[in-house]
Structure 1
Amino acid sequence: MSETRTPRPPVRRGPMGGGPMGGMGMPAEKSMNFGPSAKRLVGRLAPERGPVVFVILLGVVSVVFSVLGPKILGQATNLIFEGFFSAQLPAGATKEQIVEGLRAQGQDQQADLLSSLNLTPGQGIDFGAVATVLLWVLALYVLSSLFGWAQAYVLNGVTQRTVYRLRREVEEKIHRLPLSYFDKMQRGELLSRVTNDIDNISQTLQQTMSQLLTSLLTVIGVLVMMFVISPWLALIALVTIPATLLITTVIAKRSQKQFVAQWTHTGVLNARIEEAYSGHSLVRVFGRRKEVEQSFDEKNEELYQASFGAQFVSGIIMPAMMFVGNLVYVVIAVVGGLMVSGGSISLGDVQAFIQYSRQFTQPLSQLGAMANLLQSGVASAERVFELLDAEEQVPDPVEPEAPAEESGRLVFEDVSFSYDPETPLIEDLSLVAEPGQSIAIVGPTGAGKTTLVNLIMRFYELDGGRITLDGVDVTKMTRDELRGRMGMVLQDTWLFAGTIRENIAYGRPDATEEEILDAARATYVDRFVRSLPDGYDTVLDDEASNLSAGERQLVTIARAFLAQPSVLILDEATSSVDTRTELLLQHAMNALRADRTSFVIAHRLSTIRDADLILVMEAGHIVEQGTHGELLAAGGAYARLYEAQFAAPIEDDAEDAVAS
């Protein structure tokens, strides 16, 4: 556009202060409110209640089968151990006789050990019974794996559908946000939230939900089995829980802010990269490549430090948990061995308990290791929720009105508007644009010219007064209805990746091929398209760099021509075309403006001489209005603008002639 729509923030001092990368630093001190954000993220699973319950049931069955395995496997150990001792004892004697003999010899410890075993003196290991036990264990583990696979499959669907809904909500939210939101938000930062942060949420849900559920169920199941085997050993294992909570809490508090900083710096870096890429030519022209590289290196270093700090601090959790688990394992092994020798517990039960102790500490360690993933995911979720919570534009009326006819009569009644309440821009502006009238708006930069047409399109809401189109207040119309009656051609051309035909048809998707060609011929697009190898099927890239600036502007004018709006807005629409093409376009736009209201914003006053009404704006006020001849004769603000454009070059030429 031809002027700035929002007040600029203070320019940053330093080598980049005035360049294309200036003023982009963003603070990263905001701390994350982990609890409410995590609760809100979990709440997004509410539509998946049924599948989630099914996932829990599958997890319970899988964990039950998995937990029963060590207990049954301990029976195989007992069979082997008892068979080995039975083979060493004399055949024909009973276990009671052998135990009494040992006690008579004063070997009470060995007697206690043998009395706790199921011995058959003279018999060896019953390998058939051992094989049966092992087959049962194998069957349990296979079933546990199958139910675990089913759980992961269902949970994957739950996660992806949840993230799908989140992406859709963000997309819909973006379309409900006012233009002022995008004025304040950097494109790279917004893209980072829409892509990187949502991807991180997806990864967090995918990796933590299944593991979190399985780990919690495993801890509960294993704990029950340990108390069944030996309450004393179970109490020793329980020491792990408070140690785990203490370690996780202390470390998590330190890494929490680091994860917020990590994703904030990611957004800042993306914004810088996007800006530097889109302004690449400008950076080269002004020789600011080193400054851009330096700025990138600084922000990249900040991201590195934040990421390193977050991952390093949170990465301490897993080793600390493994250390606690190993200490508990050693204590259980020593105490269990003493209990076996005393005959108060079987060797198979000790073996099962040691396996359970590993199964007990492993999920606790996994829960600790998941803390970094959870914090990272919740940090991203908070950034996405901040976008979803942004103030939306005023909704369309429930019972909208629509003009009975499309004449294009626009009326401004005491309109007031400002971007900043403390800095008034437009105050008490009244204006009537009759059907078919061509109105030119001129004035210095920042006078409010583009703001005026933005208010017509309802890109911003008024602070006071009202605007009517064909007798209907624009706030009582839907935005689609209002903007469907208008066509707009901006100084900054926008073309998307697609063919030239598709870009022209964007103005009216249901247009026929002949209507598209008529619009192209009327706006002189056909003249240069015919010289292209693929004609109207020429594919434009994202930046439409395979067309010149003037050709891109011609395509946007053809798009507006095809739409056939009742109100036409041209904001410096011919600024990028040569003088000859501009004359041709004047004839085309004269035909386009026929029978419809048009607003033309122009700095080149030669392009608006034939306008029915010329408005001269200064500081948001209309200071003069009239035709070209009337305003020149008045000798006011318009005359001064006109003389500044045309008289000054003549005086300069005269001075050069005298000097020569």
Structure 2
Amino acid sequence: MSTDTSTGTGTSTGTDADQSWRGIAAGEADAIDSADRIRFTGGSGQLLRELLRPYRRAIWILVAVVVVENAARLAIPYLVKVGIDSGIPPIRESDDLGPLGIVVALVLGATVVQAITRQIFLVRSGRIGQDLLYQLRRRVFRHFQRLSPAFHDDYTSGRIISRQTSDIDAIYEMLETGFDGLVTAFLTLVGTAVILMFLDVKLGLLALLCGPFLFWITAWFRRESAKSYRVARERVALLIVHFVESMGGIRAVQAFRREPRDLEIFDVLNDDNRRANLVAFRLVAWFMPGVRLIGNITIAAVLVYGGYLAYQGEVTVGVLAAFLLYLRRFFEPMMEISQFFNTFQSASAALEKLAGVLRVEPSVPEPATPVPLAHRRGGLTFEQVRFSYVDGRDVLPGLDLDIPGGQTVALVGTTGAGKTTLAKLATRFYDPTSGRVLLDGVDLRDLASDDLRSSVVMVTQENFLFTGSIADNIRFGRPGASDADVEAAARALGAHDLIMALPDGYATQVANRGGRLSAGQRQLVAFARAFLADPEVLILDEATSSLDVPSERLVQHALRTVLAGRTAVIIAHRLSTVEIADRVLVMAHGDVVEDGTPADLVAGGEGHFSDLHRAWLDSLA
């Protein structure tokens, strides 16, 4: 492609772009792999044992079923040998079909046993595999929910999707085909080797001379496939990450005409994924013909030497026929092993990543002994709170602040002053580096998460809506709420008429993240959700930024009633929103530099808030 990075048209060569983005992709892959390896070392085996532990008895039953199935399968060539050597001569001598009939009946019986045991295995293994994947998906999902926002800030949504989709699918593929293939291959190889030696030692030793060659080519394939499949997992993860980010930000992509450049990046990552998988296919293309070549040479050698021994009368024709049939079965499992290595290496890489995620501890852990909230008044206290997102760079250098229960406080200040950080600490999305945040005298680190979430709710400017109806989204704050409660919350915010004007009223489906609603409508639904939850502390982080003037007036009118008797922390740049506050805190560099009522701070005539108020009045004029 020939595109320019700024406009999507230009003259830069596709080769240069490919090389540039391939280098970036490789760097990102190395970074992801480095981070994952630090977390995942030694965890995949433990995870696999934990997953299989509840099914130990069922797995042993499956092993027994596979043993019976393979015994029946391995018996058939030996029965052919018996039929040739012991069943045919009586027919030629006295037309006696009895011995051959018995052999044929035994072959049919072995075939029936093999079919029945195979059916039992498939049904039971399928049930175990689906139950195990159900538990694993549930476990991973719950763990992602437990992890704090600090983790999700670093761990992209594309990587999360990759863990729950392609990684789980890789494990499913191993469970579906890998276990059966490995056990069958092992039993076939061991069983066939023993039977060959039992039939004839000389031919058996000749046949087993291929063993070192098979061992070498299998060890080579296992080593190289492990490398290739690790790279393949990294490449597909990068591809998913870019796809999710591009589709998640599709409006920005289209607004800035980014489609050609995003497609160019996608093509590079997609090509890297293709190349990584081609390496794996090339390995299989060398391994499988190699095994087949060794097998055919061995069969040819046994046929020549066995023919000579049969001619000399040292072995029977039946033994030679059985040998050739068993040799075919001896080399077939090697193909199964190659497929098993493919699925095993892919599943092993997936298990490493899943194990690493599951080993990550939440940065805001549950207290070992939760302290109950005896009196819920909504008082917030910050005692010498220090916090930093990056070591050595404090956002809050040592904040002391007391917000009495029932007070409405507005936080104002420039971007980066620490307002949103204060809100995140109050909701315990993060824990302070030092100091304490107290709710009604209890350290947030000592509160059970259920108590904290029911007492403190934050509404942000993101106003995220989930798939479902508007009523479902409002009820999200209190799942057991009735339709009347939902409507009452909407009426309190002045949102009822807006909702009823929609095609299906409260049953209107919000579609993808509320795409069918305007920004103001989405914000009102998010407000109603928080109000229905009825927390003691309500934090509004730029929550009215998406509202137009009429909607904002409706919300401000409702807020005066809804916030009465409730602690509220309002972070806003719009001074029209700040006016309803009992108290205004002006923050700068993580400290409170002004503190007072809106009227007192304006009346002072000096200071940051007074300047903001003057600028706001000038803008209205």
Q: State yes or no: 1:338 paired with 2:308.
A: yes
Which moved further from structure 2: 378-387 or 131-140?
A: 131-140
Deviations 1:341-373 (A, max 9, x none): 111111101101111111111112321332112
Which residue of the partner structure matches residue 15 of structure 1?
5
**1:450 to partner: Cα distance:** 0.9
Does 2:60 correspond to 1:26?
no
1:637 matches 2:608: yes
The code of the aligned residue for 1:344 comes to E
- Answer with 1 or 2: which has the greater Rg: 1
Deviation at 1:571, TM superposition (A): 1.0
* Residue correspondence of structure 1 range 528-547 to structure 2 within 5 A: 528-547=498-517
Query: Aligned pair in 2 of structure 1 residues 576, 35: CA closer, same or farther (>3 Å)?
Result: closer
Aligned twin of 2:233 = 263
In the alignment, the residues of structure 1 paired with residue 393 and residue 253 of structure 2 have an alpha-carbon distance, to the nearest angstrom, of: 33
One of 526, 529, 540 as aligned partner of 1:570? 540
Counterpart for residue 62 of structure 2: 55
CA contact (8 A) 1:41 1:378 kept: no
- 1:293-325: CA deviation from partner (whole Å, max 9, x where unpaired): 111111111111112112322342222111111
Taking only aligned residues, the RMSD between alpha carbons, in angstroms, comes to 2.4
Alpha carbons of structure 1 residues 208 and 557: separation in structure 2 relative to 1, 3 Å: same
Aligned-partner SS, 2:514 = coil
**What's 1:214 paired with?**
184
SS in 2 for 1:539: coil
Q: Contact 2:586 / 2:608 at 8 angstroms: preserved in 1?
A: yes
Q: Corresponding residue for 1:605?
A: 575
Relative distance call for 1:499 and 1:216 in structure 2 (3 A) is same
Which ranges of structure 2 fall in alignment gaps of 5 or more residues?
9-20
Paired with 1:26 and 1:310, the residues of 2 have a C-alpha distance of: 21
1:410-431 deviation line (CA, Å, top 9, x unaligned): 1111111111112111111011
TM-superposed deviation, 1:175: 2.0
Query: Helix, strand or coil for the counterpart of 2:389?
Result: coil
Question: By how many angstroms is 1:627 displaced?
Answer: 2.2
Quick check: 1:484 aligned with 2:454?
Answer: yes
- Aligned-partner Cα distance in 1 for 2:524–2:218: 62
**Which of 578, 582, 586 is the equivalent residue of 2:556?**
586
Is the contact between residue 152 and residue 210 of structure 1 (CA under 8 Å) also seen in structure 2?
no
Could you tell which deviates more after superposition, 550-559 or 512-521? 512-521
Q: C-alpha offsets along residues 144-173 of structure 1, whole Å, 9 cap, x if unaligned?
A: 221222123222222222222221221221
Alignment match of 2:350 (pick from 366, 380, 392): 380
Counterpart contact for 1:248–1:371, Cα < 8 Å: no
Are residues 574 and 190 of structure 1, via their aligned partners in 2, closer, same or farther at CA, if it must alter by over 3 Å?
same
1:64 Cα deviation after fit: 1.5
Distance 1:567 1:217 in 2: 65
Q: What is the match of residue 433 of structure 2?
A: 463
Residue by residue over 1:214-236, the C-alpha shift from the partner in whole angstroms, topping out at 9 and shown as x without a partner, is: 11112122112111101121112
Within-5 A mapping of 1:16-95 = 26-28=28-30, 30=33, 39-40=45-46, 42-43=48-49, 44-79=51-86, 82=89
- Per-residue deviation at 1:514? 2.1
Q: Deviations over 1:407-458 (max 9, x none)?
A: 1111111111111112111111011111221111111112211110110010
The structure-2 alpha-carbon separation of the partners of 1:310 and 1:539, relative to structure 1 and needing over 3 Å to count, comes to: same
C-alpha contact (below 8 Å) 1:489/1:570 kept by paired residues: yes
> 1:210, CA displacement in angstroms?
0.9
Indicate if the aligned counterparts of 2:424 and 2:430 stay in contact, CA closer than 8 A. Answer: yes
Whole-Å separation in 2 of the counterparts to 1:166 and 1:132 = 50
Residue type matched to 2:296 in 1?
A: N
Name the SS for the 2:585 alignment partner.
strand
Equivalent residue number for residue 226 of structure 1: 196
SS where residue 502 of structure 2 aligns? coil
The alpha-carbon deviation at position 609 of structure 1 amounts to: 2.4
User: Which deviates more from structure 2 when the two are superposed, residues 149-158 or residues 67-76?
Assistant: 149-158
Correspondence 1:515-534 to 2 at 5 A: 515-534=485-504
Q: Is the 8 A contact 2:41 2:352 kept in 1?
A: no
Does 2:463 correspond to 1:493?
Answer: yes
Contact 2:44 2:355 in 1 (8 A): no
Could you tell me how far apart the structure 2 residues matched to 1:189 and 1:305 are? 21
Give the whole-Å Cα distance in 2 for the aligned partners of 1:35 and 1:406.
Answer: 45
Superposition TM-score, scaled by structure 1 size: 0.86
Among 149, 162, 172, the alignment partner of 1:179 is 149
Residue equivalent to 1:416:
386
The 3 A distance-change label for structure 1 pair 464 and 521 is same
Q: Is the 8 A contact 1:74 1:351 kept in 2?
A: yes
Secondary structure at 2:568 match in 1: strand
Distance 1:213 1:524 in 2: 67
Q: Which amino acid aligns with 1:485?
A: S
Find the counterpart in structure 2 of residue 289 from structure 1.
259
Per the TM alignment, residue 80 of structure 1 is displaced from its structure 2 partner at its CA by 6.9
Q: Which moved more, 1:477-486 or 1:359-368?
A: 359-368
* Preserved contact between residue 79 and residue 125 of structure 1 (Cα < 8 Å): no
Q: Report SS of the residue matched to 1:45.
A: helix
Q: How far does residue 70 in structure 1 lie from its aligned partner after superposition?
A: 1.0
Match of 1:551 in 2: 521
Equivalent positions of 1:316-465 (< 5 A) are 316-465=286-435
The offset of 1:79, in angstroms, is 4.7
Alignment of 1:100-249 (within 5 A): 123=93, 126-249=96-219
Q: Give how far 1:203 is off.
A: 1.0
- Deviations, residues 165-186 of structure 1 (Å, cap 9, x unaligned): 2212212211221211100011
Structure 1 Cα separation of the partners of residues 301 and 57 of structure 2 = 43
Contact 1:419–1:425, Cα closer than 8 Å, also in 2: yes
* Residue identity in the other structure for 2:489: A
Percent of matched pairs sharing the same residue: 34
Q: Is the 8 A contact 1:244 1:368 kept in 2?
A: no
Tell me which amino acid in the other structure corresponds to 2:516: N
- Worse-superposed segment, 390-399 or 159-168: 390-399
Q: Which residue of 2 aligns with 1:312?
A: 282
Query: Cα offset for 1:479?
Result: 1.5
C-alpha distance in 2 between matches for 1:511 and 1:407: 23
In 1: Cα distance, 2:517 partner to 2:188 partner: 63
2:290 maps to amino acid: A
Give the deviation of 1:634 after TM superposition.
5.1
Distance 1:532 1:624 in 2: 44
Deviations 1:535-577 (A, max 9, x none): 1111221321111110010111111121221111111111111
Partner SS for 2:236: helix
CA deviation vs aligned residue, 1:245-285 (integer Å, no higher than 9, x gap): 21122133223222112111212111211111121111111
In 2, the alpha carbon distance for the partners of 1:311 and 1:193 equals 23
* Cα separation, partners in 2 of 1:251 and 1:558, compared to 1, 3 Å: same
Contiguous gaps of at least 5 residues in structure 1: 1-13, 88-122, 651-660
Of 578-587 and 507-516, more deviation after overlay is shown by 507-516
Query: For the structure 1 residues 184 and 70, does the alpha-carbon distance in structure 2 shift closer, same or farther, using more than 3 Å as the test?
Result: same
Aligned equivalents of 1:42, 1:473: Cα separation in 2:
38
Q: Which amino acid aligns with 2:234?
A: T
Deviation of the 1:83 alpha carbon? 6.4
Does the 8 Å contact 1:67/1:218 carry over to 2? yes
Under a length normalisation based on structure 2, what TM-score does the superposition of the two structures give? 0.91
AA in 2 matched with 1:15: T
* Separation of aligned partners in 2, 1:389 and 1:421: 23
